[in-house]
Structure 1
Amino acid sequence: MKIRRFYGKDMREALKQVKDELGDDAVIMSNKKLNDGVEIVAAYDREPTVSPKHAAPASVPKRKVESTPTLSEIIGDSGPDSLRALLEKQIHAKEASLQTHKPEHVQAQPQRNANPLPVARTAAPRVPQQEDALNEMRQELASLRNVLQFQVAGLIQQDKSRNHPLHGYLTNKLQKMGISQTLANEVVSYTPAKADERQAWLFLLKLLANRIQTEESNLLVKGGIAVLMGPTGTGKTTTVAKLAAQAAQKYGAENVGLITIDSYRIAAYEQISTYARIIGCSVKKAQNAEELSDLLFQFRNKRLILIDTAGFGQRDVRLIKQLETLKQSTTANISSYLVMQANSQYQVMQQTIKAYKQISLQGCIFTKLDECYSLGEAISAAIEHKLPVSFITDGQKVPEDLKVAEAKFLITSAAKLYKKHVLIHTSDNSLTNTAVAV
């Protein structure tokens, strides 16, 4: 598909130029008013044929044949010139044509025959056929529109790559690292104009690190009441045990209390009570908001209280009930933390954050970093939702495999995973150099 621009003092003159030079197969892509006239961008698949002005002499007899509507007939001299308006006009023209050319015997049947049954048998099949034809036409036009939009977007992207080849290279590199396309385009736009490839890449890594939010005073320092929530299988109970164990080492086991409101999972209480027995701290179970409020009052002298919740999918109705239970405990100042697997898909993380934002989130905890092949998806979700990263876990050991989140460490890990799993040819020395450079 090729694209050309035409200029005229008004829309009529510009459309006439399109028709004369490109013929009836041209497609209007866009139009723009200028100070001295109108600009039209038109697309065509093959080279235009000879203009109608240079056709055969009028003396040659012409056959009267039915042809497809010309560009002027479809859009009119002063009609719509955008692709969306053109397609809508084509749909309306086809619908009007079908309504106008209905068989006459179907309309006159009720006057010739008093019995309505033959009319119903004759007309009923034709109506669904016409509706099916219209639906098929709409689908074809919608498909054509999607293809054209995709092609135009590709042309625009190619134009950007030609004008800024380094930007295109860096954007592709960030996306392979797992960074979302939106975030990659945003940070690449800040690349210094005179930077080479290496300088620009290090600049982007530092910029991403600055965009990641972390807690200035983490949970183990400030204490209080914290609830850990998230989808099933993210490691909430294990993370609760790791936090409780580190807090017990720092402040003493008697200053740590555990509460579970997980009444859905089998042996949920037994699992967390086993951890509590090993750590030496207290553990209780709450069935509803009233019991939770009573237990929080009993643990009011504890430095740190951790609440474990049941894991549900984002669309599970039981998730709403659990969130409502926490909302009803308004007398206590509860900090909410979202636990997510760092190796989850980008779209899964997006939907998870949206589902749990019914509760005001203090931060998030990324688990299973040791199972990741890419960390850019988790970084993108945290940055785009402005969700602080509080802790990260990278193993099953309690309490060793729990670390306070640092932006530089997250970006370094993401770059190392990119080097290791995307750039197969890169040596171990390059991995070390990348970590040191960040």
Structure 2
Amino acid sequence: MKVKKYFAEDMQQAISEIKKDMGSEAIIISQRRVRGKGVLGFFVQRLEVTAALEENNKTSFSYELEQELQQDLPESGQKFLNGMQFEQNDSVDAEESIVPESEYKFNPAFADLSLYEKADPSLPIQEELKEMRSLIEQMVSAHENSKGVRNEHLELWRHKLQTHGLGEASIDMLLKIIPEDSWEDEKKVKSLLTDYLSELLKPLYNGIRPGQVLSFIGPTGVGKTTTLAKLAAQLALNQRKKVAILTIDTYRIGAIEQLQTYAEIIGVPLQVVMSPDEFKDALLKNGDRDYILIDSAGQPFSKDDQSQELQAFLREVDKPHDVFLVLSSNTKSADLLQAAAYFMPCGYNKLIFTKSDETLSQGSILDVINKVKLPVIYITNGQNVPDDILKMEYHSLASFILDGVD
């Protein structure tokens, strides 16, 4: 770091000498009026300016200049200057010389020679300081106006995401990545949010492989049976896979008849099992099938005995096993999180969201993902079998969650 003192009649001359000697990247760290050498020097004062050239080109004001500039500034201006990190230097030599680097410490600041050059060279030093103070007040005003615009757009997007069903934690996670200069461009903000969310979801989909046994669990009325029928039809009819359906739902009236109708239309066998032992035998019997789909009874959160019974069935599976937690998109976030916690002992490893066509707000899906850190594999958007089911991956899911946030 090069630090040097210059002597001149006025600031304009000093700046000219500094730029000629050090270049435009030099910084001014202090200035003051000093007497010249000898007897005559007692009556003649010159302007002493200390300048420096840093490798990283960061700038710093002197402590003395800070004190001058802060006089009569409003509170906002003083806070602005305080953020510039001035340094005090009491060592002054009236002779022009190279100053040892150890005498000075530098911190990042805001202004450089260009700020001094804006001052009128014909004005005395106090007038220059006054003019510089005015320039800083303008910068403070511009900074605060910019901050106000940013806050306005930030709150607008926060409201949009809240309306879309996202919780506060998810909103904070997304909005923190938007650059300062992007808030007014809504398309750019939407694109940045989608890309960022996509990258967050990507690790959840690494190394995913389908199991041979697919179990469907979840609260009452979320559409587990219809979702199972859609997947069974796609596997059997579209992909020509050998499929079997087992049901352990013996609680709901009409559940077996509904599933039997689907099985007959699709052309796959259906077996009703009443106990974990029967369930184990049925798995062995259908061991040659490409896929075995398991339907289960809906679980009210207050029935712990039913949850334990379900866990007993699932423990009998000794093949590659996917346990899908099926949740409804039109359920509020708090209830979805409660369901996710309730079914956690059942060991689900993938998610399905149903009834997306019954709500315009898909943000609660992200709240569940943030909680359980598991991928959403399917989203259903209607009652038609085998249609109205979407296969998800990380980018399509990010787009789906933020769809409608405009």
- Give, in whole Å, the separation in 1 of the partners of 2:155 and 2:359: 26
- Give, in whole Å, the separation in 2 of the partners of 1:392 and 1:361: 16
Preserved CA contact (<8 Å) 2:223 2:354: yes
Tell me the CA shift for residue 187 of structure 1: 2.0
TM, length-normalised to structure 2: 0.58
Preserved CA contact (<8 Å) 2:381 2:388: yes
Cα deviations by residue, 1:290-334 (Å, 9 ceiling, x for unpaired): 111000000000000000000012222343233332343153443
Distance 1:173 1:267, change over 3 A: closer
SS of residue matched to 2:387: coil
Q: Is 2:248 aligned against 1:261?
A: yes
* Alignment correspondent of 1:423: none
Preserved CA contact (<8 Å) 1:312 1:319: yes
Preserved CA contact (<8 Å) 2:166 2:367: yes
Q: Is 2:167 aligned against 1:203?
A: no
* Alignment correspondent of 2:384: 397
SS of residue matched to 1:392: strand
Preserved CA contact (<8 Å) 2:301 2:342: yes
* Alignment correspondent of 1:193: 180
SS of residue matched to 1:306: strand
2:264 partner amino acid: R
* Alignment correspondent of 1:340: 327
- Give, in whole Å, the separation in 1 of the partners of 2:400 and 2:375: 18
- Give, in whole Å, the separation in 1 of the partners of 2:339 and 2:177: 30
SS of residue matched to 2:193: helix
Q: Which of 366, 371, 392 in structure 1 is aligned with 2:353?
A: 366
* Alignment correspondent of 2:258: 271
- Give, in whole Å, the separation in 1 of the partners of 2:195 and 2:361: 18
2:220 partner amino acid: T
Tell me the CA shift for residue 400 of structure 1: 1.1
Q: Is 2:234 aligned against 1:246?
A: yes
* Alignment correspondent of 1:224: 212
Q: Which runs of 5+ in 2 are unaligned?
A: 1-146
Tell me the CA shift for residue 215 of structure 1: 4.3
Tell me the CA shift for residue 402 of structure 1: 1.4
Q: CA RMSD in A?
A: 2.3
Q: Is 2:318 aligned against 1:331?
A: yes
* Alignment correspondent of 1:212: 201
* Alignment correspondent of 1:27: none
Distance 1:381 1:223, change over 3 A: closer
Larger % of helix: which? 1
Distance 1:392 1:357, change over 3 A: same
Tell me the CA shift for residue 266 of structure 1: 1.1
Cα deviations by residue, 1:122-150 (Å, 9 ceiling, x for unpaired): xxxxxxxxxxxxxxxxxxxxxxxxxxxxx
* Alignment correspondent of 1:49: none
* Alignment correspondent of 1:237: 225
Q: Which runs of 5+ in 1 are unaligned?
A: 1-160, 420-438
2:182 partner amino acid: A
* Alignment correspondent of 1:291: 278
Preserved CA contact (<8 Å) 1:262 1:308: yes
Tell me the CA shift for residue 361 of structure 1: 1.8
* Alignment correspondent of 2:11: none
Distance 1:201 1:328, change over 3 A: closer
Preserved CA contact (<8 Å) 2:228 2:293: yes
* Alignment correspondent of 1:125: none
1:57-136 aligned at under 5 Å gives the runs none
Tell me the CA shift for residue 267 of structure 1: 2.0
* Alignment correspondent of 1:142: none
Tell me the CA shift for residue 415 of structure 1: 4.0
SS of residue matched to 1:365: strand
1:298 partner amino acid: K
Distance 1:316 1:366, change over 3 A: same
- Give, in whole Å, the separation in 2 of the partners of 1:285 and 1:217: 33
Cα deviations by residue, 1:228-265 (Å, 9 ceiling, x for unpaired): 00001111011111111000024436x10000000111
- Give, in whole Å, the separation in 2 of the partners of 1:403 and 1:201: 22
- Give, in whole Å, the separation in 1 of the partners of 2:319 and 2:402: 41
- Give, in whole Å, the separation in 2 of the partners of 1:196 and 1:174: 15
SS of residue matched to 1:171: helix
- Give, in whole Å, the separation in 1 of the partners of 2:206 and 2:148: 43
Instruction: Answer with 1 or 2: which has the greater Rg.
Output: 2
Distance 1:398 1:380, change over 3 A: same
Tell me the CA shift for residue 274 of structure 1: 1.1
Tell me the CA shift for residue 286 of structure 1: 0.9
Q: State the aligned residue count.
A: 256
2:235 partner amino acid: A
* Aligned-pair identity (%): 30
Tell me the CA shift for residue 403 of structure 1: 1.6
Preserved CA contact (<8 Å) 1:218 1:390: no
* Alignment correspondent of 2:366: 379
Preserved CA contact (<8 Å) 1:212 1:383: no
Distance 1:265 1:218, change over 3 A: farther
2:246 partner amino acid: I
- Give, in whole Å, the separation in 2 of the partners of 1:321 and 1:360: 12
